């Protein structure tokens, strides 16, 4: 039978066989962020289009070429979020969180959408882990968010990374830099792509981020922002580096980093790798002190970063890093009749109430097929229920690892099974030098 349709181009399914890896990565990132004081925030997957036009910047590739924008049934222009920061700022303002003690620190995992050519590590529907900090102007916060990102990479054991940082100054000192860029690129205007010729008057810094090979080659010889930043921005950048030095974080100053979104000011940074080919940036962020005011609030300093999760998973694979395996079912209850399966259903319900993952047959398999399926699921224990077991009120539970069997009463079976499982684990501790204590903690 022919499929009605397939997944839309640039999207992908995460199947149960691997989805546990995503859950582990996402929950770990949120937990590490929590250690730094960042609490989870969840914002809608779509917003009014003007939010992204104002925040991301009308001259960026994201706004000009990549946003999924449509009119809803009420005639309002709606856009699927292309990144996470704008929605977090909108929520910060809409809910009056600026009245809370500063700094306000948020973390999130969110889907994002950009219409661009799909390739490895760059999908049209992708996911970001991000953090945003509002209300901290000091360079110590720039260093802290960088340290948070590094802590995530360190936790997973990713070594093939380098941190590159830059300062793109403030609006005041950037004006002189924009003039220098405009003069430089005007002399080469005929060689620029059509998009960049349109950017020349409005925002020549966007040309530095163009993906066209010709524009990129021209941009390589452009003036560098660090030659134009004001004394305050230079002092901020210098102190940021001192904090990084104090934290023992290695970095390289890369004066070509400008980031692809207009809201950035002063510090910008990227974690880049040589393991993913052209998709080398796995984390990007920086300071965006003017964005809250741009979206209707007062002047509130802010900074943050985002990690592309699909690209992060690719980096784990490229680095040969194994994640903890998903826990198998604790018990599979096999039944030899409909009456026995009713008992199995009752036992499973009681075990699940106690937090014990277990399975029983729901598709009418033969006993042989049930045991084959139990083995495929990796169940740690199995028990077979037949007429004799039900009549005698007891059944033998088999440990699949060593074949040992333990007879347990069916009355209060959940309690009996949990006690037996803990005893079995304690025996393993006594006989195994490399026992993982987490397997015991999971039973308590």
| CA–CA distance, 443 with 421 (Å, rounded to integer) | 8
Q: Give me the pLDDT at residue 11, please.
A: 93
The pLDDT of 109-136, averaged and rounded, is: 92
pLDDT of residue 116: 84
Tokens of 159: 């070594």
What is the band of 2 on the pLDDT scale with cuts at 50, 70, 90?
confident
Across the range 196-210, mean pLDDT stands at 83
Mean pLDDT to the nearest integer, 282-306: 95
The backbone torsions φ and ψ at residue 49, rounded to the nearest 5 degrees and listed phi first, read: -60, -35
- Paired sense of beta strands 302-308 and 69-71, if any: unpaired
Structure tokens at 324: 């903890």
- The answer to whether the CB of 162 falls within 8 A of the CB of 252 is yes
**Contact by Cβ (8 Å): 145, 304:** yes
* pLDDT confidence of residue 385: 97
Average of per-residue pLDDT across 255-263: 77
pLDDT at 439: 45
Of the candidates 289, 303, 139, 166, the one whose C-alpha atom is nearest the C-alpha of residue 227 is: 166
* Predicted pLDDT at 431: 56
What are the residues facing 86 on neighbouring strands? none
**Comparison of pLDDT for 183 and 262, the residue scoring more:** 183
Element (H, E) at 22: helix 16-35
> Who contacts 283 (Cβ-Cβ below 8 Å, separation ≥6)?
149, 153, 270, 271, 305, 306, 307, 308
DSSP reduced 3-state for 334: strand
How many CA atoms lie within 13 Å of 206's alpha carbon, on the beta-carbon side?
24
| DSSP strand pairing (39-40 vs 125-134) | unpaired
Sequence spans of domains, the chain = 16-170+229-318, 331-441
For the domain made up of 16-170+229-318, give the CATH fold. Answer: BirA Bifunctional Protein; domain 2 (3.30.930)
Does the domain spanning 331-441 belong to CATH 3.40.50.300? no
User: Are 122 and 90 contacting, i.e. CB atoms less than 8 angstroms apart?
Assistant: no
The token pair at 175 is: 């004006």
By C-alpha distance, which of 151, 140, 82 is closest to 301? 140
Q: What is the pLDDT of residue 39?
A: 98
Taking a C-beta distance cutoff of 8 angstroms, is the pair 389, 410 a contact? yes
Contact 225, 265 (CB under 8 A): no
Q: What is the mean pLDDT of residues 426-433?
A: 59
Average pLDDT over residues 66-85: 95
Which of 43-57, 184-198, 201-215, 324-338 is least confident? Answer: 201-215
What mean pLDDT do residues 9-13 have?
93
Output the pLDDT for position 118.
Answer: 83
CB count within 10 Å of CB 277 equals 12
Determine contact, residues 292/132, Cβ cutoff 8 Å. no
Give 405 or 202, the one with higher predicted confidence.
405
Give the pLDDT mean for 279-295: 92
Q: What is the mean pLDDT of residues 317-340?
A: 94
Q: Can you give the pLDDT at residue 376?
A: 96
Measured in residues, the chain has a length of 444
**37 compared with 212, residue with greater pLDDT:** 37
For residues 79 and 172, the model is more confident at 79
pLDDT tens by residue, 351-380: 999 999 999 999 999 999 999 999 999 999
**Quick one: average pLDDT of 393-398?**
97
Predicted pLDDT at 59: 59
Q: Which comes out higher in pLDDT, residue 165 or 260?
A: 165
Place 441 in a pLDDT band, splitting at 50, 70 and 90. very low
Helix (H) or strand (E) holding 223: none
pLDDT for res 375: 96
pLDDT for the residue 200: 86
Nearest Cα to 58, choosing from 195, 159, 194? 195
Q: Average per-residue pLDDT in the chain?
A: 91
Residue 308 has pLDDT above 80, yes or no: yes
Residue 190 pLDDT > 80, yes or no? yes
Tell if the pTM clears 0.75, that is, is over it.
yes
pLDDT at 198: 84
């Amino acid at each position: 039978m022919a499929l009605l349709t397939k997944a839309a181009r640039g999207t992908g399914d995460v199947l149960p066989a691997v989805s546990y890896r995503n859950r582990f990565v996402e929950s770990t990132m949120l937990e590490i962020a929590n250690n730094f004081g960042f609490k989870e925030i969840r914002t809608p997957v779509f917003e009014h289009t003007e939010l992204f036009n104002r925040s991301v910047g009308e001259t960026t590739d994201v706004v000009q070429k990549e946003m999924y924008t449509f009119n809803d049934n009420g005639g309002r222009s709606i856009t699927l979020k292309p990144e996470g920061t704008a929605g977090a700022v909108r929520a910060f303002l809409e809910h009056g969180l600026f009245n809370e003690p500063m700094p306000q620190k948020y973390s999130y995992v969110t889907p994002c959408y950009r219409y661009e050519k799909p390739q490895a590590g760059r999908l049209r529907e992708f996911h970001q882990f991000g953090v945003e900090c509002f209300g901290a102007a000091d360079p110590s916060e720039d260093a802290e968010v960088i340290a948070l990102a590094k802590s995530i990479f360190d936790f997973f054991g990713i070594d093939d990374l380098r941190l590159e940082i830059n300062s793109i100054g403030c609006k005041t000192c950037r004006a002189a830099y924009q003039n220098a860029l405009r003069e430089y690129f005007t002399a080469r205007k005929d060689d620029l792509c059509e998009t960049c010729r349109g950017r020349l008057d409005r925002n020549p810094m966007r040309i530095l981020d163009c993906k066209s090979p010709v524009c990129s080659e021209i941009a390589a010889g452009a003036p560098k922002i660090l030659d134009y930043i004001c004394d305050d921005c230079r002092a901020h950048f210098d102190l940021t580096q001192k904090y990084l030095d104090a934290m023992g974080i290695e970095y390289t100053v890369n004066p070509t980093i400008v980031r692809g979104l207009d809201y950035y000011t002063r510090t910008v940074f990227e974690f880049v790798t040589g393991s993913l080919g052209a998709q080398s940036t796995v984390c990007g962020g920086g300071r965006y002190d003017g964005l809250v005011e741009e979206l209707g609030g007062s002047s509130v300093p802010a900074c943050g970063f985002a990690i592309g999760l699909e690209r992060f998973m690719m980096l784990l694979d490229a680095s040969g890093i194994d994640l903890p395996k998903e826990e198998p079912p604790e018990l599979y209850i096999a039944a030899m009749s409909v009456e026995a399966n009713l008992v199995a259903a009752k036992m499973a319900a009681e075990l699940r109430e106690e937090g014990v993952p277990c399975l029983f047959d729901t598709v009418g398999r033969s006993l042989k097929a049930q045991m084959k399926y139990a083995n495929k699921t990796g169940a740690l224990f199995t028990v077979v229920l037949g007429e004799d077991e039900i009549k005698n009120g007891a059944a033998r539970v088999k440990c699949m690892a060593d074949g040992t069997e333990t007879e347990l009463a069916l009355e209060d079976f959940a309690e009996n099974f949990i006690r037996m499982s803990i005893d079995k684990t304690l025996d393993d501790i006594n006989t195994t030098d490399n026992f993982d204590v987490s397997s015991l903690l999971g039973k308590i």
